[in-house]
Amino acid sequence: MKYLIVANWKMNPSTGKEAVNLFNSVKKGVKTVKNAEVVICPPFVYIPLLGRLSSKALKVGGQNVFYKESGAFTGEISPLMLKDLKVKYVIVGHSEARKFLDETDIMVNKKIKEILQVNLRPILCVGEKAEEINQKSKILKRQIIKALKNVSRRLVKKLIIAYEPVWAIGTGKNCSVGMTLNSALLIRKIISKLYDNKLADKMKILYGGSVNSKNSKGYLKKTAINGLLVGGDSLDVKDFVKIIKSAS
């Protein structure tokens, strides 16, 4: 099985030159990696720049997208625009988009349907806040069911789910291996009830939330997940390359 390692650069770095240097350094570091597909999701403005540098080992993805193919939506980016730039993966429903951009479950559902219609692969982020830990099952169920409303089995096969407990993102308080395993199994159970066991077993599930080179191997080898969504540490080339190599 090939793991999927996704870097979310968020609103970093500040210049195109820094972005190119960072991308090329990662590219150099993953040349010998065979057991992982690596995707860098930079700010939109850097996608054309980095797309020209992408390779089979290192691809470029999107951090978000709008739910229409075109139209009078000032400041937004459509799935067709991303597709034209050879983007394959798009992050949707990240907790920061939900918090700072008021992204709702209904908006996430619209985005997923639009992304799938143009044959891109959405990475759906789900996860509970600190005050919701005791309600994790309820929260994940709600987020997944609403995100996948009226999404057919044929299309949903391209979906990837990233379990990102909000309380672990950027805090250094990563989720334990046991809790992550429990969450991955819970997500598969929800998908099996929405669709079927076969699809649930095959669906790629990632973990994200204070991932670093010291804990990445534990997640990949002991939690029944298929990869990682890395935030802050993806901007540290040495650490990020170590995370990628932990998939070997």
The CATH number that applies at residue 165 is 3.20.20.70
47-61, 141-155, 170-184: which range is least confident on average?
170-184
Clarify whether 132 is annotated catalytic. Answer: no
Q: What is the pLDDT of residues 204-242, one digit of tens each?
A: 999 999 999 999 999 999 888 999 999 999 999 999 999
- The number of distinct structural domains making up the chain is 1
Q: Which of 37, 96, 128, 164 is catalytic?
A: 164
Whether the CB-CB separation of 246 and 213 falls below 8 Å is answered with: yes
The one catalytic residue in 37, 94, 96, 114 is 94
Q: What is the pLDDT of residues 3-38, one digit of tens each?
A: 999 999 999 999 999 999 999 999 999 988 889 999
Domain boundaries, position 128 = 3-245
Q: Is the pLDDT of residue 174 over 90?
A: no
Q: Active site includes 69?
A: no
CA 106 → CA 74, 103, 109, 224, distances in Å?
20, 8, 5, 29
CA dihedral in degrees (111, 115, 118, 120; nearest 10)? Answer: 170
